[in-house]
Every structure is written in C-alpha cells, then in structure tokens.
Structure 1
Amino acid sequence: MHFSNVLAISRTASKTEDFRALIVRTVPNDLKVDTCSYSQLIDHQEDHADYRAIIIEIDTPSASGQALDIIKKIRTKNPACLIVIFVTFASTQSKTKYYLAGADYCLKVTHTAPEEKFCLVDAFLNETYRLNYCKLILDQDRMCIFGNGEKLEISFVEMKVLEALIHSRLLSHDEIAGVMGLNTKFYDSRALEKSISRLRSKIKARYGENVIQNIRGYGYKLSRGIISANHLQPLQERAHRD
C-alpha cells in the first residue's frame, strides 16, 4: 500500500493504536499513519483535507451511528478523499448505509486470528490502492472510453449510465432505470442487472478494472478516482487525444 497521508480512526484512543498497528504493517516504513478517536474527530473542526485515505474501524454495534456521522462529515469537507470502512464485529447489517453516507469501500473483518485479519486488511488496501490509480476517461462526444492507450466503444445508454454514476457515484436500481429510459415502476430488474453486468464486464475485459460496484439490495456505485468525464479534462489534454 502506498497511500500518502493516511488517517486511521477508531472508537477510543487505545483502540486507535491497535488499529494503527494493524494498518502500519501494510504500508512502507517511511509513511506516517496518523490516528484519531471518534470523540476527537467529532469535537474538533479540522477538515483533514490533506489526507488521501481515511480508514475507519467500527468495532461495536453502538459505534455504527457515530461512524455514520463521521463519514458524512468527512465526505462533506473532503469530497476527494478515499474513505474505507472496516467492520470488526460480527454483524448482519447491510453495508449500504455506509455507502450512502459517503464511504467508498466497506469490508467486514471478523476473524479473531490476528494474522487472518492482517491478511484480509493487507489484500484489501493494496487492491484499493491499485484501483484508485487507474485513470479512464469517458468521452461523451464519441461514446467511448479511453485509458491505458486503448479505446472502448460503448452504447448511448451505457454512456448515460456511466455519466450519471460519475456525477452521483451511487444510484439506486430505480435511478439507473430512469437513466436508461425505462419505466421506473414496471421495469424488469433482471434485465437491468444484466445490462449493467455486461457494461461492467466489457470495461473489465478491456482495462482489467471493476469500475462499477454492485451494492446488494440497493443499486450500483462507481469506484472513486478510476473514471472521469471528458468535459472535466483540460482542453489541451482533449486536443492532444484528438
């Protein structure tokens, strides 16, 4: 993992040190990992804008509500940062509420063996780092995607879905149906899922990346930092690509 400026947040001051020790094992020796407890974050007004990655541990059911408030606060003040959630207690709760609050990834890590927990955290953070350094460009004018020196043509509907996800990052099944021009009350959910699956598979086959994530029971979200729309690119970059 090679994130710069990492903040590890846990419920109490003592918990933050344990959580930090777990994360530090996955990062280079010269990288500083700062820590903060829930109360410190809630009581202070810092926006933590310098952090590229903020990793939050939720270790009890009662901590979930506080964590949601923290996620919303961070996302409002630092819209570009990567927010990763680790749920470290046995829970059957849906991850959807964390994504709706603004989290980018949520991993349930309930293994009691320290090495098992470390392996899961290490693999997840390294994969997350790699994904967030693959830049793709959606060109709405040409209805295609550019990236890694390759071009992928897509349909008008696929382009509109990606455009909507880039704008909102998280859309429900009904919202996706509306973007696709379907009747939001009577559409075939299985057909919608197949359409999104085809688009996701098409992008992964060309670029090797899972750009669209399925949020079970809710809809779909876009992985932060992987793809952007061409109208957000500097004009000289677009001219060079032309």
Structure 2
Amino acid sequence: MSVRILIVEDEVKISRFLQLELEHEGYEVETAFDGRKGLEKAQNKEFDVIILDIMLPQLSGMEVCRRVRHENKSVPIIMLTAKDDVSDKVMGLDSGADDYMTKPFAIEELLARIRVAVKRRSNGVADSNRNTIKLGDLILDKERYIVTFKQQNIDLTKKEFDLLAYLMENKNIVLTRDKIVEHVWGYDYMGETNVTDVYIRYLRSKLDQKYGIDLIKTIRGVGYKISDEK
C-alpha cells in the first residue's frame, strides 16, 4: 500500500516540484494551495505525512496544524517556511508539528525526513481503525478503555488514560507541559499549574516503577515524551 502525502503550499511552483519529486519516489500525493482547503483534506482523508507551509492564505499553517492535532490525529506534520526564525520554529513545534524545514532546502533532506516520519508512524502507533496504540509491550485500546503491559491490565483513571494516550499518539515527540494541559484538560483549564507533573508521576508509578521500565522521559525545561528507546 502506497504512502499518501498531503502538500499544503500556496507557491504553485514549489508545490508542483515537490509533488513530482515525491511521486517519482513512489508516494501518492495530493496538494492544496490554501490553509482552509488543506485542513479540509486533512480532516476528510487519511494521510501518512502532511507537508505544511506556515504562510498560507485563508488559514495559516500554524492554525491548520493546531486544528489537525486537536482532533487527535497522529499523522506526522513537517512544516515549511521561508523564515529562519527560532520563534517560528518554536511556534510550529508547539502547534503540534513533528519537524521543521526552512526554505530553500535540499529535496534529499526532505525525502530523508519523510522516510523517518513514515517509519516512526508505522512503528509507533495506531492500527487501521486508529483505536489500538502500541509501544513495545504496552498496548492502549481507546475504544474499550483498556491498557495492558505484557498482557497485564493496568488500572488508570480517565485523566491518566487520556494523558497516556496523548503521549503514545505522539511517540518520540517532546510535548510541552502547556500543550499537554491544553489537550488533556482543555483550553480553559484554570487549576493547578503543576497538574502535568503530578499525573506524570501517577503514570510512572503504575508503569515505569511497577514494571522496571523507562518509557516516560523528562525533557528538562520543556516537557515530556514517551519512548521505548534507551
């Protein structure tokens, strides 16, 4: 089954160049030339990778990325921009992007990053119905609300389950504390500011400490990620 890629880029020449190169590599490609159309395609079809420009008409790339992520999509997103500004990079990653490239870039580098994204997703996460997420021996069933490790059930509260699901949907991706709160507790959460740290401790006590593993990593000064890599 071919890998499907969505290119959301308003510069027609760049979009066409990327499309031809990716199709030459054997990918199935669709394009959109504004943010609103790109979001519509991302919401209505399944893609393996989205290549998303930041500066778009109708709807910015940041907003498209944020809305796609808000709907729990685990599709890898690679953002493109003409700006070489750290703040843009941070904003893009905070919006939920997995990777970031500044124009002009070498097509070989983009192809390499696409291969990494596709491999990460195929190793990482949801099956075809997007209900079961796997990370090594850890399996989370979103439909039945069940989590197991080596076939042993793990009893989690709803928030613990939601937090673990969010981490697993974004395997190997660093998630900021603010982004975790926004996704798990909602935009209007006004409770304790350390709620993420508290619930991470809860999860670790039920997973890492109980089974002697090291899945949930602390990224000092940033946030957390889940990974089975040493």
Q: Give the equivalent residue in structure 1 for 2:151.
A: 151
Partner of 1:162: helix, strand, or coil?
helix
Q: How does 1:150-189 map to 2 (within 5 A)?
A: 150-151=150-151, 160-166=159-165, 172=177, 175=181, 184=192
Give the alignment partner of residue 93 of structure 1, picking from 84, 87, 97.
87
What SS class does the counterpart of residue 82 from structure 1 fall into? coil
User: What's the TM-score, normalizing by structure 1?
Assistant: 0.52
Secondary structure in 2 matching 1:137? strand
Given the alignment of the two structures, is residue 32 of structure 1 paired with residue 28 of structure 2, yes or no?
A: yes
Residue 55 (structure 1) shift: 0.8
1:67 aligns with 2:66: no
Mapped partners of 1:167, 1:116: distance in 2: 28
Q: CA deviation at 1:112?
A: 3.9
Q: 1:120 to 1:39 in 2, by over 3 A?
A: closer
Alignment of 1:222-233 (within 5 A): none
Matched with 1:137 is 140
| Structure 2 letter corresponding to 1:52 | F
RMSD: 5.4
Match of residue 16 from structure 2: 17
Secondary structure of the residue aligned to 1:184 is coil
CA contact (8 A) 1:52 1:82 kept: yes
CA distance in 1, matches of 2:156, 2:166: 17
Residue 120 (1) aligns with residue 100 (2): no
> Matched residues in 2 for 1:214 and 1:24: separation?
39
Unaligned segments of structure 2, at least 5 residues: 127-132, 170-174, 186-190
Task: Using the aligned pairs only, state the percent identity.
Answer: 14
Distance 1:130 1:46 in 2: 24
1:109 paired residue among 101, 104, 107:
101
Q: 1:51 aligns with which of 41, 46, 54?
A: 46
CA–CA distance in structure 2, aligned partners of residues 218 and 52 of structure 1 = 29
Q: Which amino acid aligns with 2:101?
A: V
Post-superposition shift, 1:96?
5.8
C-alpha separation between the residues in 1 aligned to 2:212 and 2:2? 25
TM-score after normalising by structure 2:
0.54
Compared with structure 1, are the counterparts of its residues 49 and 202 closer, same or farther at alpha carbon in structure 2 (3 Å cutoff)?
A: same
1:132-180 Cα shifts (integer Å, max 9, x gaps): 34542269x9x97336xx23565758x843334537977736949x98x
Change in Cα spacing, 1:116 to 1:162, as seen in structure 2 (3 Å) is: same
* Counterpart Cα distance in 2 of 1:6 and 1:200: 38
The structure whose Rg is larger is 1
Residue pair 2:10, 2:33 contacting (<8 A) in 1 also: yes
- Structure 2 distance, partners of 1:219, 1:118, is 29
Aligned to 2:87, what secondary structure does the other structure show? coil
Unaligned ranges ≥5, structure 1: 224-242
Higher relative contact order (CA 8 A, sep 6+): 1
> 2:61 & 2:88 partners in 1: Cα distance?
14
Alpha-carbon distance in 2 for matches of 1:194, 1:74: 25
Query: In structure 2, what is the Cα distance between the partners aligned to 1:36 and 1:206?
Result: 47
Cα 1:199/1:11, change in 2 over 3 Å:
farther
Given that 1:96 and 1:218 are in contact with CA atoms closer than 8 Å, whether structure 2 keeps it comes out as: no
